[in-house]
Amino acid sequence: MNTLPREKQAAILRAITEGNSIRAAARMANVSKDTVVKLVVSVGEMCELYQDHKLRNLPCKRIEADEIWAFTGAKQKNAGPGQGDCWTYTALDAETKLTVCWLVGQRTQENAITFMKDLASRLANRVQLTTDGHTMYLPAVAEAFHWDVDFAQLIKTYGKDPNAPVGKYSPAICTGAEKTWVMGKPDWSKVSTSYVERANLDLRMRSRRFTRLSNAFSKKIDNHAFAVALHFMVTNFLRPHGTLTKANGGVHTTPAMASGVTDRVWKMEDVLSLLDSDRMIG
């Protein structure tokens, strides 16, 4: 068990979930790197278990799903065993901004099916679902939802930025988008992946492991997965969402509150208290 004072543990976790690296958090807290890693792993594992337990029977109406790339250990071309490309599948409730579920692993048909089955098991009713145009989602959604879903894909095309300096790194830009019917009766005005893409951008900005062109990438896939679970614990339970707060008359509202999962804004100390209890707190 970590013997640091609770206040220092909370400060370390806040630093990690605001985009700082393991080493930076260790320097700020004047502790060893291994201490920070062990804390993130233990708390992240509990966050994963807690959300798996609590995010059930959700009254979602519109879900957006996407994947975000990272890597562990080394880039794919230099990867050894257990290293290389690592994808995080995410499913977001477009109305409450709750991250309903996620999966960390390879970008394979098997993982897409596992991810969609997990999503379907958490929903209380039929939903409208939008994904990107990847073909792995077609059999995955059909197998997970048994066609009981209003599903469309938003197929985007990308190209190089003509204004980018020659030889400089620059991400591709979207050059077009096409809405494609797959099954059910989706509302075409709500076929979008904008919210989940924005949430994935937040993950890339606030989790140093996802930062491009840096050396802060995860070295182990398990630690990467626990850091992802910690991030979603913060975005679901701790961080009020501006749109939800405005809609609720200025009252700070998190996605978990908007979804009826909890009735309060959590603090990092509440997350740490999960480690002290043999039961799941509300």
pLDDT of residue 270: 96
CA distance 105 to 109: 11
pLDDT of 38 above 60 = yes
CATH superfamily of 6-276: Ribonuclease H-like superfamily/Ribonuclease H (3.30.420.10)
Residue 202 belongs to what H/E stretch?
helix 194-206
pLDDT tens for each residue of 246-276: 999 999 999 999 999 999 999 999 999 998 8
Alpha carbon distance 234, 25 (integer Å)? 17
pTM, two decimals, is 0.92
Q: What is the pLDDT of residues 45-97, one digit of tens each?
A: 999 999 999 999 999 999 999 999 999 998 888 888 889 999 999 999 999 99
Q: Where are the domains of the chain?
A: 6-276
Residue 279 in this model has a pLDDT that exceeds 50: no
**Which pairing describes strands 150-159 and 173-183: parallel, antiparallel, or unpaired?**
antiparallel
Tokens of 96: 């409450």
For residues 131 and 137, is the Cβ–Cβ distance under 8 A?
Answer: yes
